[in-house]
């Protein structure tokens, strides 16, 4: 039945498990352990736990399972494993599948912590990593080899909003039998069709649009039952990256309103892109949903929407960008994204500060770049705020 529902209905109802009290709002099962009726039952459960049979909260918990089932339902896949943070999910999705001697191909434009795992941790473990310009299909083709084990990308990159052609890259990976892992945070579960487009494992930081109200860290790894229960669960449950039941409850509440929030946020992002198009204080405007973005056709085909994030490069570099940031009255200077509150971030000075200058230049992370995550405030108020701030640049 629940597979026939549309996303908005699934976001509110999928995965619900009611206790004997038949509560309306999802219960928080704030327990680390579960009692067995008999020693035989304990033994049987350790041999094989069936769905809705729990052992220990590091392995699974009813509130966490509700979140996992709801996420799998909206993503259109069989299963999921919830994690303590988005990075626990990225790390788990890679470590569960890779061994020393394996080869990985990844896109170069990545969130700083994702880049750290691909660039520093994996090579240290004896995994060979080739990074490519993710927009260039020829570069993917040249880098993917007969022995490539796994392909990793952010479907829309942070902070320069480059778009990966998910269908084409997945097809190339599958030709050599490689697993495709996509970090889909910027695309959001609302606009995601990546499972259909060929991705095997989808990763989200739930900290972003899923919570969407800046309360808790969380993440999830989604895919087929075989990959999640066969590979991901054993790695995650023994290495301790589990999501807490309280966090799962926050995320369930977040999911109820996610579609409404994300659509309002993207409407503001699109209207802001129109208002900023050709603005004299900007050297560059980057919004995938705007006709000026070189991959506008691709993003509309892939997601049907340009998303909630917009980046702009202020003329005059760091000083001008900082003057604009300091003049904001509604938008907050912070580094989360997908939040109900509009957030402005200077990536070169903050989230991507660690990158050497030549890497920043290669990725287009210029000193004047401001990344905006549009919130759910009144669109016109937010646009007015950003336009007045740019006057100070
Ligand atoms: C935030 C983010 C992460 C990490 O998520 P946390 O919940 O902060 O650990 C990973 N990938 C992308 C693209 C992100 O934006």
Residues of the chain with CATH 3.40.640.10: 2-254
pLDDT of residue 92: 98
Mean pLDDT over 152-175 rounds to 97
Each residue of 135-157: pLDDT tens digit? 999 999 999 999 999 999 999 99
How far is the centre of ligand 1, averaged over its atoms, from the C-alpha of 280 (Å)?
Answer: 33
For 2-254, CATH gives: 3.40.640.10
Ligand 1 contact via 92 beta carbon (within 6 Å): no
Res. 3: pLDDT tops 80 = no
Ligand 1 contact via 265 beta carbon (within 6 Å): no
Taking CA atoms only, the protein residue closest to ligand 1 atom 7 is 86
Q: Which residue has the higher pLDDT, 4 or 103?
A: 103
Mean pLDDT over 83-108 rounds to 98
How far is the centre of ligand 1, averaged over its atoms, from the C-alpha of 86 (Å)?
Answer: 5
> Does the pTM exceed 0.85?
yes
Confidence band of 354 (pLDDT split at 50, 70, 90): confident
CB contact at 8 A, 82 and 63:
no
Res. 2: pLDDT tops 80 = no
Each residue of 272-296: pLDDT tens digit? 999 999 999 999 999 999 999 999 9
Share the mean pLDDT of the chain: 96
Res. 214: pLDDT tops 50 = yes
The region of weakest confidence among 3-7, 44-48, 53-57, 169-173 is 3-7
How far is the centre of ligand 1, averaged over its atoms, from the C-alpha of 183 (Å)?
Answer: 9
Residues of the chain with CATH 3.90.1150.10: 259-390
Ligand 1 contact via 219 beta carbon (within 6 Å): yes
How far is the centre of ligand 1, averaged over its atoms, from the C-alpha of 144 (Å)?
Answer: 25
- CATH for the 259-390 domain, from 3.40.47.10, 3.90.1150.10, 3.30.590.20, 3.90.180.10: 3.90.1150.10
Q: Which atom of ligand 1 is nearest to the CA of 207?
A: 7
Ligand 1 contact via 148 beta carbon (within 6 Å): no
Mean pLDDT over 36-62 rounds to 94
How far is the centre of ligand 1, averaged over its atoms, from the C-alpha of 338 (Å)?
Answer: 11
Ligand 1 contact via 89 beta carbon (within 6 Å): no
pLDDT of residue 294: 97
For the chain, percent of residues with pLDDT exceeding 70 = 99
Confidence band of 1 (pLDDT split at 50, 70, 90): very low
How far is the centre of ligand 1, averaged over its atoms, from the C-alpha of 7 (Å)?
Answer: 23
Q: Which atom of ligand 1 is nearest to the CA of 185?
A: 13
């Amino acid at each position: 039945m629940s597979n026939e529902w549309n996303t908005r209905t699934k976001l509110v109802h999928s995965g619900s498990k009611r206790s004997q009290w038949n509560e309306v709002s999802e219960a928080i099962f704030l327990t680390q352990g579960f009692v067995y009726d008999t020693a035989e039952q304990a033994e049987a459960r350790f041999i094989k736990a069936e769905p809705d049979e729990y052992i220990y909260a590091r392995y699974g918990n009813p509130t966490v399972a509700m979140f996992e089932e709801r996420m799998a339902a909206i993503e259109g896949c069989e299963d999921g494993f919830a994690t303590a943070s988005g990075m626990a999910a990225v790390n788990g999705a890679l470590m569960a599948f890779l061994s020393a001697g394996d080869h990985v191909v990844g896109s170069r434009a990545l969130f700083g912590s994702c880049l750290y795992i691909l660039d520093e941790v994996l090579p240290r473990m004896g995994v060979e990593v080739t990074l490519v310009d993710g927009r260039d299909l020829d570069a993917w083709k040249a880098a993917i080899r007969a022995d490539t084990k796994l392909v990793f990308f952010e479907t829309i990159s942070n902070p320069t909003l480059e778009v990966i052609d998910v269908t084409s890259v997945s097809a190339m990976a599958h030709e050599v039998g490689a697993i495709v892992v996509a970090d889909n945070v910027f695309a959001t579960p609302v606009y995601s069709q990546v499972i259909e487009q060929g991705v095997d494992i989808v990763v989200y930081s739930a900290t972003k649009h899923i919570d969407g109200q800046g309360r808790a860290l969380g993440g999830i790894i989604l895919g087929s039952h075989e990959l999640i229960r066969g590979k991901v669960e054993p790695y995650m449950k023994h290495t301790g990256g589990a999501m807490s039941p309280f966090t799962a409850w926050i995320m369930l509440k977040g999911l109820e309103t996610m579609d409404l929030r994300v659509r309002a946020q993207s409407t503001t992002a699109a209207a802001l892109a129109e208002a900023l198009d050709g603005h004299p204080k900007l050297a560059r405007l980057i919004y995938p949903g705007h006709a000026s973005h070189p991959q506008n056709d691709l993003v509309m085909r892939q997601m049907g929407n340009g998303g909630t994030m917009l980046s702009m490069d202020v003329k005059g570099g760091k000083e001008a960008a900082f003057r604009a940031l300091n003049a904001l009255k509604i938008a907050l200077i912070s580094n989360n994204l997908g939040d109900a509150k509009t957030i402005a971030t200077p990536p070169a000075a903050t989230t991507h500060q660690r990158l050497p200058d030549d890497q920043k230049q290669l990725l287009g992370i210029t000193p004047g770049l401001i990344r905006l995550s549009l919130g759910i405030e009144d669109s016109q108020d937010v646009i007015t705020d950003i336009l007045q701030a740019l006057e100070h640049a």
